[in-house]
């Protein structure tokens, strides 16, 4: 009788992840490979062990599952299974609570039967999961760039939600669309989690120095080839010091308040409130940075939404 060969540690880890996600969501929306580590599905290989957090992967899987089932399939049952009844809402179009969410999302399938929630990247840290997506209501349309941020409780239930949305334009100054990854390696997945703290430190210091303290010298944190996905800004770091200097001179009362930072691997997202003047309602902005192995920022995406005059809830967008 042939002796059974023990499964490698990474295979056991992958299978356990798949079963955990399946038990929580009812299916396994993230493929778990026993043969190759994957930073989105099974963790990142580091010194022979997985630098891996089961809780984060479960929360990521639930987030993808809820967005797909709710908005593409109009499956309202996912709301009761995965979202707390006292759900706190920061989208200005919707009140608090799960019943309001059902009333908001339910009619979309009838009105837009071909709606696609095309998820591009998912980033998780602590109790927060951020999703960057291209939401297309009708086939052939450019749709919207959307960032959703979900806060989970200890039972893997969604407790709170923030978002920002922006129409996708026909053209961009850089020639890059608002979603692709241009820098090498060209993957939308976050890098290994052992990179998280260093990436977060670089991106946060760059953001605070440039936008909070209004110091154009912060462009030294950018790689020369800096790939830009903001539709109105060219790629490359050359000339950005002068552009930011002129911008700060044009808007001397600019204030940028950093609200939350979510980092995983080489991806860092900053959610902030931008205001040109003290009386300006301002904009809800999510900037996403990719930090290269040399500690320079190599790529940037963002979503910008004006803060409206009125809201269906009293929580603000922040």
Whole-number pLDDT of residue 38: 38
Continuous segment of H or E residues that includes residue 251? none
* Residue 290 and residue 208 share a domain: yes
Interval 145-174: pLDDT, tens: 999 999 999 999 999 999 999 999 999 999
**Domain shared by 59 and 157, yes or no:** yes
Q: What is the C-alpha to C-alpha distance for residues 12 and 43, in angstroms, rounded to an integer?
A: 12
In terms of residue numbers, what domain contains 111?
55-167
Please indicate, yes or no, if residue 174 is contained in any of the structural domains: no
In a domain, 182, yes or no: no
Same domain, yes or no: 155 and 63: yes
Per-residue pLDDT, averaged over 89-108, amounts to 95
Whether residue 249 lies inside any domain: the answer is yes
Residue 26 DSSP one-character state: S
The answer to the question of residue 187 being in a domain is no
- Give the DSSP H/E element, type plus range, for residue 250: helix 240-250
Backbone φ and ψ for 99, nearest 5 degrees, come out as -65, -35
Find the CATH number of the domain harbouring 134.
3.10.450.50
Whole-number pLDDT of residue 22:
56
Per-residue pLDDT tens over the stretch 278-296: 999 999 999 999 999 999 9
Q: Does 152 share its domain with 211?
A: no
Quick one: 89 and 126 in the same domain?
A: yes
Burial class for 185, CB neighbours closer than 10 Å (0-12, 13-18, 19+): exposed
Residues 71 and 149 in one domain: yes
How much is the pLDDT for 139? 96
Last residue of a domain, one of 152, 167, 182: 167
Confidence band (pLDDT; 50, 70, 90) for 47?
very low
Indicate if 67 and 132 belong to the same structural domain: yes
Two structure tokens written together for 152? 């989970």
Tell me how far apart the alpha carbons of residues 288 and 32 are, in angstroms, rounded to a whole number.
26
Q: Is residue 18 part of a domain?
A: yes
One domain, residues 136 and 234: no
In this predicted model, which residue has the larger pLDDT, 20 or 172? 172
As for how many domains the chain has, the answer is 3
Residues 301, 203 share a domain: yes
The answer to whether residue 219 is domain-embedded is: yes
Residue 150 tokens read as 């979900």
* Sheet of strand 116-125: strand arrangement: 83-89, 158-167, 144-152, 128-136, 116-125
Q: How confident is the model at residue 17 (pLDDT cuts 50, 70, 90)?
A: low
Distance in angstroms between the alpha carbons of the first and the last residue of the chain: 64
In a domain, 237, yes or no: yes
- Arithmetic mean of pLDDT over the chain: 88
Is residue 177 in some structural domain? no
Which stretch of 30-34, 182-186, 296-300 has the lowest confidence by average pLDDT? 30-34
Read off the pTM.
0.87
Note the pLDDT of residue 34.
31
């Amino acid at each position: 009788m042939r002796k059974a060969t023990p499964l490698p540690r990474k295979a056991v880890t992958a299978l356990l992840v798949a079963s955990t996600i399946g038990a929580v969501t009812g299916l396994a929306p993230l493929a778990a490979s026993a043969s190759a580590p994957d930073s989105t599905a099974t963790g990142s290989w580091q010194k022979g062990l997985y630098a891996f957090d089961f809780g984060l992967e479960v929360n990521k899987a639930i987030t993808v599952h809820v967005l797909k089932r709710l908005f593409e399939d109009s499956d309202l049952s996912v709301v009761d299974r995965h979202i707390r009844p006292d759900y706190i809402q920061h989208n200005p179009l919707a009140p608090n609570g799960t019943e309001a969410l059902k009333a908001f999302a339910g009619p979309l399938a009838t009105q837009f039967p071909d709606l696609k929630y095309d998820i591009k990247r998912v980033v998780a840290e602590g109790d927060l999961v951020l999703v960057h997506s291209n939401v297309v209501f009708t086939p052939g349309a450019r749709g919207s760039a959307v960032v959703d941020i979900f806060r989970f409780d200890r039972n893997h239930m969604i407790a709170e939600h923030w978002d920002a949305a922006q129409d996708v334009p026909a053209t961009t100054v850089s020639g890059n669309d608002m979603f692709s990854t241009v820098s090498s390696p060209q993957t939308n997945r976050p890098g290994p989690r052992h990179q998280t703290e260093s990436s977060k430190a670089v991106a946060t210091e760059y953001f605070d120095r440039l936008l909070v303290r209004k110091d154009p010298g912060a462009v030294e944190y950018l790689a020369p080839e800096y790939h830009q996905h903001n539709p109105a800004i060219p790629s490359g770091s050359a000339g950005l010091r002068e552009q930011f200097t002129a911008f700060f001179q044009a808007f001397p009362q600019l204030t940028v308040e950093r609200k939350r930072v979510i980092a995983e691997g080489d991806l860092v997202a900053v959610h902030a409130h931008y205001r040109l003047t003290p009386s300006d309602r301002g904009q809800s902005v999510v900037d996403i940075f990719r930090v290269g192995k040399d500690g320079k920022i190599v790529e940037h995406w963002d979503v910008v939404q004006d803060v409206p005059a009125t809201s269906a809830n009293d929580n603000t967008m922040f």
